[in-house]
Amino acid sequence: MRAALLLLAGLALVAPPVPAQIDGPRSGADFLTPDTRTLQDDDFLNPGLFAVEEGRALWNRVEGAAGQACASCHAEADMRGVAARHPVFDPATGGLVDLAGRVNAMRREHMGAPELPRESQAMLALTAFLGFQSRGMPMAVEIDGPARPFFEAGREDWFRRRGQLNLSCAQCHDDLAGRRLRGDTISQGQVNGMPFYRLMWRTMASRHRMFEWCETSLRAEPRAAGSAEYLALELYVAWRGRGLPVETPAVRR
């Protein structure tokens, strides 16, 4: 696999700029430098494991007026597969809900605890802990039934150009995966490793923060994390990466 990538990179140096298309979904981990890859693969080195441990402590901690912890109602083992199938359609709100939205719904409705801001350390820790329970399981979101219109909206968004640089997600992550954008190798923009630890930011980060980062880089007005637009985009991107193993917590440059 790595040999194929090297070959591609070599070809790119001599060949004209034709799309270096790569068949099938490939995890962002396949595009990392060997150093970063080692950080992700070694649980003793992976900085995201601290967040998972912190998340486990929060899972067990009683919070809020109802005197409950997550663990009061759920067994840890029941969380297996949950991250692999989110975001899902939520009949209660008539929209999509992702892991962070789920956590806040539980806190609001069952714990009487305040909602956690999306990029707070506690939320990233809890969602990293949840993701970790699905580690190695194939991503498998539901796109039929009531989820369908959201999926279609997300797909349309993926292909739409935006920002002063006038690029779509697809132009970089479908057509140019494997090519070099200055110091970065462009991956397929998959979300199977999130929340993940980003070395550049020295912190855990969510799927939506990454969407924001790419949009801001395109000099587009980013949507808000947790917005209906990003949830729809997340559903499409998760479906696009169907079958990829959940790798939370991934490590990236």
Partner 1 sequence: MRPLPAVAALLLLAGTAGAAGPSMDRPLTDRPGDPARGRAVVRDLSKATCLICHAMPIPEEPDHGDLGPPLAGVGARLGSGEIRQRIVDPTTANPATVMPAYFRTEGLDRVGAAFRGRTIYTAQEVEDVVAYLATLTGE
Task: State the catalytic residues.
Answer: 214
CB of 219 to partner 1, least distance (A): 5
If binding is defined by CB under 6 A, does position 197 make contact with ligand HEC? no
User: Of the ranges 80-88, 90-98, 128-136, 176-184, which one interacts with partner 1 (CB under 8 A)?
Assistant: 176-184
Residues 6+ positions from 29 with CB-CB distance below 8 Å: 37, 40, 193, 247, 250
* Enclosing H/E stretch for 58: helix 48-60
179 part of the interface to partner 1, by CB under 8 A:
yes
52 contact choice in partner 1, ligand HEC, none (CB below 5 to 8 Å, kind-dependent): none
Q: How far is the CB of 49 from partner 1 (least distance, A)?
A: 30
Say which entry of ligand HEC, partner 1, none residue 219 contacts (CB below 5 to 8 A, set by partner kind): partner 1
The interface with ligand HEC within residues 15-34 (CB under 6 A) comprises 17, 28
CB 218 within 8 A of CB 168: no
Residues comprising the chain, all counted? 253
Q: How far is the CB of 171 from partner 1 (least distance, A)?
A: 5
* DSSP label of 87: S
Does 171 interact with partner 1 (rule: CB under 8 A)? Answer: yes
What is the closest distance, in whole angstroms, from the C-beta atom of residue 177 to partner 1 in the complex? 11
Omega prior to 245 cis, within 30 of 0:
no
Contact call for residues 192 and 241 (beta carbons, < 8 A): yes
Among the listed residues 45, 75, 97, the one whose alpha carbon sits nearest the alpha carbon of residue 208: 97
The residues, any chain, with a CB within 8 Å of residue 165's CB and separated by 6 or more, are 217, 218, 219
- Its sign, for the CA torsion 7, 10, 12, 16, is negative
* Site residue total, partner 1 (CB under 8 A): 26
Q: Is 49 in the site for ligand HEC (CB under 6 A)?
A: no
* Binding of partner 1 by 224 (CB under 8 A): no
- The CA distance from 10 to 6, in Å, is 6
Binding site for ligand HEC (CB under 6 A): 17, 28, 167, 169, 171-173, 181, 184, 186-187, 189-191, 193, 210-211, 214-215, 218, 233, 237, 252
